[in-house]
């Protein structure tokens, strides 16, 4: 085998231009496929990152009615019990869960004010003390909620940067009093995510897919929520898991645990996890058919390249007929002749595959720079491309090799 490989390189080197032109179809096909696959992978990773965000790996489990999150303004549903501490402990004991917190949430349009300025479309959250840690929030200004706030049911509030800007418009918010459904709440701090993330927007469609319109969020101690709304309002749960890939499984398991305690008459009402990974897959699948077409088109050049390899190997067999006859006269068996020409064909296309991978990686980077599209090099795809190009050499080199192995030695020796 080593001797066959050495002879293959020797034959390729002795006909450099012919070998290069033979490999060109393989190089173009492999380069195109690597560039396309790298762009697809980069785009899919960007979609996933845009939806999941900065990587805090949090999953929200909420009460749904059909395909939509239940609207509390329609009234509190019967048969949805409060989430107990025992239930939260059970969820926290789930494999891959790092922290868990229950909270209330409503989107508000006309009940949050500072003087005459309204937080229309903003969100109001009733949170536990560990909520900020679970969601990876940090204090930018002021203080957070302490045990006394919960023990004494103090009417205090935290704002995020958006709600601070909307309500106070550049004015310092800490220490000021806002009104939530007629109740005065003192702003004690401003919170923000520890990791800031902005989705990459390349089109209007991307904007509507990834950007959520909101005036911001206001957070109050969970114990004061009944002052604003109702005592038995269903809660939501947010979990922080160890890795992004665990989000779907853990979210579904948590929803199943919560649904075991439901006794609602409406079968469509149940807890569901906000499955961002599944949303990413659905968006990715929309472009898969187009991407597959591009790969098949690129694959046509591999077919053309394979035919070129077969053609040049037939020429090589014709040129070396006398050499083949001499080897067979000296006792070389069919298998040896077959193996020599198959090896040469495989080496030729493998070299084309390697060059194609290198050019494909360079091409992907150029596409990324020129069109601002994300790319991600796939090592398995690169290795698979080289192996595939080798298989092309073996398949299309089979006919010439078989022809060489079956030459009559006497006729071969007479060939000029």
| Cα atoms found within 13 Å of the Cα of residue 250, Cβ hemisphere only | 27
Q: In the prediction, which pLDDT does 199 show?
A: 45
Contact at 8 Å (CB) between 233 and 51? no
| 41/52 Cα distance (integer angstroms) | 16
Terminal-residue alpha carbon distance, the chain: 29
Where do the structural domains in the chain lie, given as residue ranges?
A: 2-49+282-414, 58-241
pLDDT at 292 over 50: yes
**Do 166 and 215 contact (CB within 8 A), yes or no?**
yes
Angle at 19 between CA 16 and CA 22, to 5 degrees: 150
pLDDT at 369: 82
pLDDT at 139: 92
Q: Beta strands of 71-155 (E only): which ranges?
A: 97-108, 112-114, 117-118, 122-127, 137-142
Q: How many residues does the chain have?
A: 416
Please give the pLDDT value at position 176: 95
Looking at mean pLDDT, say which of 43-52, 167-176, 280-289, 315-324 comes out highest.
167-176
* Span 207-238, pLDDT tens digits: 334 445 567 899 999 999 999 987 678 899 99
Note the pLDDT tens digit of each residue in 224-283: 999 998 767 889 999 988 877 788 888 889 989 999 888 887 888 899 887 655 555 555
Q: How many CA atoms lie within 13 Å of 318's alpha carbon, on the beta-carbon side? A: 6
User: Which of these ranges, 13-22, 299-308, 323-332, 378-387, has the smallest mean pLDDT?
Assistant: 323-332
Residue 197 in tokens: 């993330």
Residue 213 or 392, more confident: 392
């Amino acid at each position: 085998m080593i001797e066959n490989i050495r002879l293959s390189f020797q034959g390729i080197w002795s006909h450099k231009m012919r070998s290069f032109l033979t490999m060109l179809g393989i190089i173009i096909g492999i380069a195109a496929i690597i560039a396309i696959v790298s762009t697809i992978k980069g785009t899919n990773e960007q979609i996933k990152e845009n939806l999941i965000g900065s990587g805090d790996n949090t999953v929200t489990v909420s009460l749904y009615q059909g395909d939509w999150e239940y609207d509390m303004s329609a009234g509190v549903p019967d048969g949805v019990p409060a989430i107990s501490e025992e239930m939260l402990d059970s969820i926290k004991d789930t494999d891959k869960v790092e922290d868990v917190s229950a909270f209330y949430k409503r989107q508000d349009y006309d009940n949050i004010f500072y003087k005459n300025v309204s937080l229309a479309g903003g969100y109001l959250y009733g949170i536990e003390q560990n909520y900020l840690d679970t969601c990876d929030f940090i204090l930018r200004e002021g203080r957070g909620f302490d045990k006394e706030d919960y023990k004494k049911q103090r009417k205090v509030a935290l704002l995020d940067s958006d709600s601070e800007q909307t309500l106070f418009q550049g004015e310092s918010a800490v220490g000021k009093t806002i009104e939530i459904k007629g109740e005065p709440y003192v702003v004690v701090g401003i919170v923000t995510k520890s990791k800031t993330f902005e989705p990459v927007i390349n089109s209007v469609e991307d904007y509507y897919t990834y950007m959520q319109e909101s005036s911001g969020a206001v957070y109050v101690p969970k114990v004061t929520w009944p002052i604003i709304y109702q005592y038995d309002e269903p809660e939501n749960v947010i979990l922080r898991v160890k890795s992004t890939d665990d989000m779907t499984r853990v979210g579904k398991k948590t929803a199943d645990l919560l649904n075991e305690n439901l006794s609602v008459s409406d079968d469509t009402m149940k807890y569901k996890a906000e499955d961002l990974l599944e949303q990413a897959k659905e968006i990715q699948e929309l472009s898969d058919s187009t991407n597959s077409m591009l790969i098949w088109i690129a694959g046509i050049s591999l077919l053309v390249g394979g035919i070129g390899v077969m053609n040049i190997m037939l020429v090589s067999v014709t040129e070396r007929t006398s050499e083949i006859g001499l080897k067979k006269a000296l006792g070389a068996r069919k298998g040896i002749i077959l193996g020599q020409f198959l090896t040469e064909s495989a080496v030729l296309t493998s070299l084309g595959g390697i060059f194609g991978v290198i050019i494909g990686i360079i091409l992907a980077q150029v596409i990324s720079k020129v069109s601002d599209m994300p790319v991600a090099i796939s090592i398995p795809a690169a290795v698979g491309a080289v192996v595939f190009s080798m298989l092309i050499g073996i398949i299309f080199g089979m006919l010439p090799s078989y022809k060489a192995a079956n030459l009559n030695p006497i006729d071969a020796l007479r060939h000029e």
